[in-house]
Structure 1
Amino acid sequence: MTATASSNGRSLVGRFLREEAAFLVALLTFVILHFGLHDTLNKAITPETAQPLVGALFAVWLFAVVLWAAFNVVRHADVLAIKLGEPLGTLILTLAVVGIEVSLISAVMLTGAEAPTMARDTMTAVLMIVLGGLTGASLLIGGFFHGEQDYNLPGARAYLGVLVPLAVFALVLPDFTASTDSPTFTPVQAGFFAIITLVLYGIFLAIQTLRHKSYFEQPMQERAADHEAAPGHSHDHGPQHATSYHAVLLLLTLVTIVLLAELIAMIVDFGIVQAGAPVALGGVIIALVVLTPESMAALAAARANQLQRSVNLLLGSALSTIGLTLPAVVAVSLITGANLQLGLDMAPMVLLLLTLVVCLMTFGGTRTNVLQGAVHIVLFLAYLLLIFSP
């Protein structure tokens, strides 16, 4: 009996090591770089003792590990989507990623670091990456492989109906208030908009998860076609365990990715200074790293002709970024007295508003194609251009 139990225990451990190798390697990488090779990394990216080749090797190592870990996150998210159905499966991934992003921003503000535009720049980068680059790539991939794709129109309208006013409240309105000279809110204004943002986002979550879940599910005809085309689909994501197992491992892997992203940020900042690139580029690169799990899941869903899942991931991520970030950073600012600048400059403001209008047009019908994807990609490229040439 004891021998059998011991054998079963070793078997379970071996199985865990095989299935969660990406998470374990990512965690080990963080421990090694943070506690073992931290001084070596610091010397390599410090101007006085710079070693560009060593820094580049660290960067390649970190990016490779993060990419592998992202595949693991997507695997757990896929299983949760199968077990819980839409929109709960994708909502877990979205809230986990955005929650960690918000925690990072709040942590930096609480340390007393002077970064008045960090929240604004982060929200803008996430919105333009998600609504421009990733939405465009998903529509291009889906259109290329499937011609036209269906999604649930009421769900997309619900996302955009909340996202547009919240984005304007957070990133546009501060430029036009007369109570302050800078693109900021007064404490009363900031508190008011933080509260209504949180309330409106909470109402949306209630609609999404309770009252109108069907708005966020794949259209019936597409689900039937997918089922006929791939009857073994539920087994294509590796071994399946209890829902709690996949939820916990998804969250742990995401936390590890964000911890590694902080190390990547150090290297990226050094590389930007050495190359003389715009400072804002660093925020975009880090946002891309943190968004990697959602990006891969959304692109894979579009390739599998599950556009509604891509919509849930992408529009949900954009909405959650505003809905959670604005209340959090306003609360930190009011408590600590930290300066918080939210209003965008004119050029990025125009581009953000244009992107929101295009999203309303793209998701104004029930089918999408490659042309709409190309338009979103062009908007994202224009955003990148303005970073290098404001």
Structure 2
Amino acid sequence: MTTALRRVLTPLTTARAAVGWLAVLALWAVSGLLAPPVPALPLLAALAVIVGVILFASTGVVHQAEQLAHRLGDPYGSLVLTLSIVMIEVVLICAVMLGPGEHATIARDSVMAVSMIILNLVIGLCLLVGGLAHGDLRHHRTGVSTYLSLLVVLCTLAFGLPAALGTDGAFRPWQVIPVVVVTLGCYAFFLWRQTGAQAEDFTEVGGAAPVHSPVPDVGGTVRTGDDEAAPRPPLGEVLRAHRPELFGRLAVLVVTVLPVVLLSHDMAALLDDGLGRAGAPPAVAGVLIAGIVFLPESLTSLRAARHGEIQRVSNLCHGALVSTVGLTIPAVLVIGMLTGQTVVLAESPANLLLLGVTLALSAVAFAAPRVTAVHGVAHLVLFAAYGIAVFS
């Protein structure tokens, strides 16, 4: 156990977590000095420090996620990172709703920004990078189709149905419980199938995902990319053989990712202040925060694309969005019902159009046997269109 933990808790790993938490404490200590309006130079300095710390800590999250993915294999490895970030994000959104003030649209704005960033910006960059480096990329069409089918249904329930059947963009009280039950039931059934009978639908085409750094196998030997065709041991055997290391890496991942998310939300007031004085729309701050919150997952996805692991890109990106919608929407609806708050979920016609076109493009692109760099450019163009809509 001591050897395994020593392998996990390297000096650099400890430094990344420590710097993140020290930055959170420092920001809390000087919160009075950073209350809006903040002078321009202190504002820029604080934002630069926060972004720098987030980037430094995010590299640690990426490292732990990659080690877990190599050890556990997909979809389990990608699922660990996805659920860690999404669960923390859900808790923070719920904490904001339970705090003072009106936050009727926070869930809608956050999830929509995440949707556009993941589906268009991150996946677009991944397809472009992977396509230029490796040419056409083969993915598991059944797995990607499963993700996109759920996204079509969950996004319709979240953003389309309140506009058509609700009142002032919110579900009526009697509609909340059926929507929550159906959403959670659908997501739970998906997780059960993804980690059970359909697990192979979310693995790289042609065998296990390639390994790009030496990782000791169950028997203690070192595995590299040359033996990627070797059969992977059963998950139960891996858990029994490497329990201390796996739980240690999972704990380090959560401890490192938590300050990333906390810092992202702490900088919301600074961004609102600075962007407000610059005349930028309020939605810009939401987009920037959503991008930073999911920075670890985005970096991991780009590294996977660079290595040609396009199915892992889908597991991280599409899987993250399924988890975000499947967990955030029920959570905020329940809080709204219990506290009497109005939860506005109906989106604007422009955003609904862009979301619909994005999902259609995703379905068309990933329905092909291979995805290419051109598909990535198409997604990036849609993200540019979303940027135009934000500033309009």
Q: Partners in 2 of 1:290 and 1:89 — Cα distance?
A: 19
Q: Is the 8 A contact 1:152 1:215 kept in 2?
A: yes
Answer whether contact 1:106 1:332 (CA < 8 A) is retained.
yes
User: 1:248 Cα deviation (Å)?
Assistant: 0.4
Tell me the TM-score normalised to structure 2 length.
0.89
Structure 2 counterpart of 1:69: 57
Q: Which amino acid aligns with 1:339?
A: T
> Corresponding residue for 2:218?
none
Give the one of 365, 370, 391 matched to 1:388. Answer: 391
1:218 pairs with one of 204, 220, 226? 204
In structure 2, the partner of 1:208 is 194
Partner of 1:155: 143
Query: Residue 210 of structure 2 contacts residue 225 of structure 2 at CA under 8 Å; is this kept in 1?
Result: no
Q: Call closer, same or farther: CA 1:277–1:19 in 2, change over 3 Å.
A: same
Note if 1:192 corresponds to 2:166. no
1:128 positional shift: 0.7
Tell me, yes or no, if structure 1 residue 365 matches structure 2 residue 368.
yes
Amino acid at match of 1:194: V
Residues 181, 330 of structure 1: alpha-carbon distance in 2 compared, 3 angstrom cutoff: closer
Contact 2:8 2:248 (8 Å CA) reproduced: no
- Out of 290, 294, 307, the position equivalent to 1:291 is 294
- Partner in structure 1 of residue 226 of structure 2: 231
Deviations 1:49-82 (A, max 9, x none): x311111011111101100111100000001001
Q: C-alpha offsets along residues 180-216 of structure 1, whole Å, 9 cap, x if unaligned? A: 4411111121211111000000000001001110000
Q: Distance in 2 between matches of 1:224 and 1:243?
A: 19
Residues 210 and 232 (structure 1), Cα distance of their counterparts in 2 relative to 1, 3 Å cut: closer
1:182 aligns with 2:168: yes
Q: Post-superposition shift, 1:113?
A: 2.2
Q: CA deviation at 1:266?
A: 1.9
Q: Is the 8 A contact 1:184 1:342 kept in 2?
A: yes
Partner of residue 74, structure 2: 86
Q: Is the 8 A contact 1:97 1:254 kept in 2?
A: yes
User: Which one is further off, 346-355 or 105-114?
Assistant: 105-114
**Could you say which residue in structure 2 is the equivalent of 1:236?**
none
Indicate if the aligned counterparts of 1:150 and 1:222 stay in contact, CA closer than 8 A: no
Give the secondary structure class of the aligned counterpart of 2:344.
Answer: coil
How far the C-alpha of 1:164 sits from its partner, in A, is 0.6
1:29-178 paired onto structure 2 within 5 Å: 29-35=23-29, 37-42=30-35, 46-47=36-37, 50-177=38-165
Which residue number corresponds to residue 254 of structure 1? 257
Asked whether the equivalents of residues 149 and 369 of structure 1 are also in contact (C-alpha less than 8 Å), the reply is: yes
Decide whether aligned partners of structure 1 residues 174 and 273 sit closer, same or farther in structure 2, where only a CA change above 3 A counts.
Answer: same
Superposition RMSD on alpha carbons, in Å?
2.4
Unaligned regions of 5+ residues in structure 1, if any? Answer: 1-7, 234-239
Q: SS of 1:120's equivalent?
A: helix
For structure 2, the 5+ residue unaligned runs are 214-222, 229-241
Contact 1:112 1:338 in 2 (8 A): no
* Aligned with 2:351 (options 348, 351, 355): 348
Partner of 1:326: 329
Superposed CA deviations along residues 275-297 of structure 1, whole A, max 9, x for unmatched, are 01000111000001100000000
Q: Which amino acid aligns with 2:383?
A: F
Do 1:133 and 1:380's aligned partners in 2 also have CA atoms closer than 8 Å?
A: yes
Task: Quote the offset at 1:160 in angstroms.
Answer: 0.9
Displacement, 1:29?
1.2
Per-residue CA deviations over 1:296-334 (Å, capped at 9, x if unaligned) read 000100001111110000000111111001110110010
Give the TM-score of the pair, scaled to structure 1: 0.89
Task: Give me the whole-angstrom Cα distance separating, in 2, the residues matched to 1:224 and 1:52.
Answer: 47
Comparing 223-232 and 102-111, the one that deviates more: 223-232
Return the offset for 1:264. Answer: 1.6
